[in-house]
Amino acid sequence: MNNFKLPALLVLALFIALGNGQLGAQENEICLECHNDPELVGADTLYVDSEKWTASIHNRMELECVSCHMDLAGFEDWPHPERLEKVDCSVCHDGAFELWQQGIHGLPAQAKGDLDAASCADCHGSHYIMAVKERSSRVYPTNLPHTCLNCHGDPELADKHEGMGRAEVAEMYLESVHGKALEKSGLVISATCLSCHGSHNISSLEEFYPQIPKICGNCHAGIYEDYIQGVHGEAFVKGNKDVPLCTDCHGEHDIKSPDDPESTVSPRAMSENCSHCHDDMSLSAKYRLPGKRLTSFRNTYHGIALNLGDIRVANCASCHDYHNIRPSSDPKSTIYPANLANTCGKCHPNARENFAKGKIHLEGKLEENIGAWLVKKTYIVLITGLIGSFAAYICLDLVNYRRRRRSVGKNQNQPEED
C-alpha cells in the first residue's frame, strides 16, 4: 500500500515545497490532503473526515494536527513514519488526566499496561471531539450510556475483567426512572452513568459505596438532608457499614419511581424491602432491635390488606416516615409515644391517645397482649372441643341410623319410628 502511495506523496511534497517555499507552519490542509482521501489511506483508522473535523471543538479552537501529533511538528521528510507516537492529551488537559490516573480506568492502564481500560479517546473520540455541552458529543448525557456500553456492553470484555459492569446494567438503567427520564422525557438533567460514577476518576466499588448518599444528594438535595437527620443517616455519617444507603432500598441501576407498582419501595413492596434488615435475626440481635417486623406486620389488618392489594392502608413508611426515620425514643420521631396519635391521625382522623395504646406489630406472643393470647387459646380449645363432639355425635347418629335400617330391613312389618 505504501509503495503505491509513495510517488504521490513525493509529488505532493515537491509541489508544496515549490508553492510555499517553506514548511515551517504546517497547516491542517496539508495533512488532510492525504488523510481525507479514503483511497489513499483506506477508510478506517487513518482516515480523517475533513467536514467532521472542521466541526470539532479542536478545530474551532484553532488547533492544528500537529498540536496533538506533536512528533510530526516541523516534519518535512514525507512520507512520515507509519507509526506515530500516541497522542498525549495531558499536555493540555492535565487536570482531567490526573483525575483519570486515579480512577479505575486509569489505574490498571498505568500499573499493568492494560489496554482494555478506557482512555481519553475511548470515551471522547479522537479527531471529531465535540465540547461536552454539545449535543453531538459522545459524552453528552443522551449519548453517554451508549458510549459506556461500547465496552460495558461487550460480554467478552466483561468475562475477561472481573467486577466489570455488564450490559444488563445498562438495560436496567434504561428501564429505571432515570433512564426513562432521559429517554422518554428527554431530560438531560436526569442522572446518567457519570452523575453517579463520576467521569474521569471513576472509583472502585469499595470506595464508591460509602459515597452513595452524597452522590444521590447531589440532585436529591432535599432528601439527603432528611436522610442524614434520620437514624440511618446518622449512623451512616458515623461510618456504620450495616445501615441502608439509598441504593439498598431503591435499587441501583433499576431505580423506579415510588409511584411505580414495580418499585421496591412501592406501597406493596415496601414491607418486604424493609424486612431485609428488620426481619433479619442477626442484625436485630446486633443492634437490639425488635426482630420479625415483617411477620408481625402481616399479622395486622394493615399487613393483610396490603398483601391482598389494598394500597391505601398503612405501610412501613406511613408510620415510620421515609427518609427521616427515627427510633421511638426520639421525641422528633413519628412513632414517639407522644406523636403517635398524630401519626395515626394522618389516616384515622380524630384518633386520640387511646388509639395508639398497645402494640402495633403483632407476633401473637403472651407478653404482648395477655388478653388476646388467652382469648385465642380459649377459642382454640373451645372450637376443637365443640367440633370434636359434633363430629362424634354425627358419627354416632349415622352408625345408629344404619344399624336401625338394617334391623328394620329384617322385620319389614315393624314401623320405622321404633
Asked whether the beta carbons of 331 and 393 are under 8 A apart, the reply is: no
Cα 276 to Cα 247: distance, rounded to the nearest angstrom: 13
Using CB under 8 A as the binding rule, whether residue 247 contacts other proteins is answered as no
What residue type is assigned to position 111 of the chain? A
What residue type is assigned to position 32 of the chain? L
Choose one: 43-51, 109-117, 237-245, 355-363; the region binding other proteins (CB under 8 A). 355-363
Eight-class DSSP state of 98: H
Choose one: 36-44, 94-102, 301-309, 328-336; the region binding other proteins (CB under 8 A). 301-309
Choose one: 70-78, 148-156, 275-283, 345-353; the region binding other proteins (CB under 8 A). 345-353
Which of 218, 240, 282, 342 is the binder for other proteins (CB under 8 A)? 218
Provide, rounded to whole angstroms, the least separation between the CB of residue 330 and other proteins: 21
Which of 186, 210, 290, 327 is the binder for other proteins (CB under 8 A)? 186
Give the torsion through C-alpha atoms of 174, 176, 181, 186, to 10 deg.
10
* Grid cell in block for residue 180: 426513562
Cα–Cα distances in angstroms (integers) from residue 75 to residues 63, 80, 110, 320, 361, in the given order:
17, 8, 30, 72, 81
Which of 51, 77, 367, 417 is the binder for other proteins (CB under 8 A)? 417
Choose one: 98-106, 228-236, 278-286, 309-317; the region binding other proteins (CB under 8 A). 309-317
Binding to other proteins (CB under 8 A) within 190-209 occurs at 190
Using CB under 8 A as the binding rule, whether residue 222 contacts other proteins is answered as yes
Cα 359 to Cα 221: distance, rounded to the nearest angstrom: 35
* Grid cell in block for residue 249: 432500598
* Grid cell in block for residue 261: 407498582
Cα 120 to Cα 402: distance, rounded to the nearest angstrom: 95
Provide, rounded to whole angstroms, the least separation between the CB of residue 174 and other proteins: 13
Which of 86, 112, 286, 357 is the binder for other proteins (CB under 8 A)? 357
Asked whether the beta carbons of 321 and 233 are under 8 A apart, the reply is: no
Q: Interface with other proteins by CB under 8 A: which residues?
A: 135, 141-142, 182-183, 185-190, 218-226, 298, 301, 304-305, 307-310, 312, 348-352, 354-359, 362, 369, 371-372, 375-376, 379-380, 382-383, 386-387, 390-391, 393-394, 396-401, 403, 416-418
